[in-house]
Amino acid sequence: KQEVTQIPAALSVPEGENLVLNCSFTDSAIYNLQWFRQDPGKGLTSLLLIQSSQREQTSGRLNASLDKSSGRSTLYIAASQPGDSATYLCAVDTGRRALTFGSGTRLQVQP
């Protein structure tokens, strides 16, 4: 059974810092990995999707990497802003198209 773990569970940083969120998964036979953002009491916003054959994806200040063989992914956020404060969720698709989610990293960026 696929399990997804995210570290740290919570993170507080001052505005402007670069930061890294970590995600690990137990079964490397994944189809793709996605990073989402969830604001309190709201749904999910897709940030980046990395196919199993890819190593990384970039969108603006966000960069996500994938090392499938070691079961790890990182989300790098450059020059963090208070508006980046949210919970970031990592999820893997093992080919069923349904996603297995990690428990998330709650990020607080202090102005």
Task: Name the one range near another protein by CB under 8 A: 14-22, 31-39, 61-69, 76-84.
Answer: 31-39
Task: Name the one range near another protein by CB under 8 A: 13-21, 65-73, 75-83, 91-99.
Answer: 91-99
Q: Which of 12, 18, 26, 46 binds another protein (CB under 8 A)?
A: 46
By the 8 A CB rule, do 69 and 27 touch? no
Which residue reads 């999707």 in tokens?
49
By the 8 A CB rule, do 21 and 9 touch? no
Coil vs helix vs strand at 94: coil
Q: Report the site for another protein in 65-84 (rule: CB under 8 A).
A: none
By the 8 A CB rule, do 23 and 101 touch? no
Judged by the rule CB under 8 A, the positions of this chain that interact with another protein are 31-32, 34, 36, 41-46, 49, 51, 89, 91, 93, 96-104
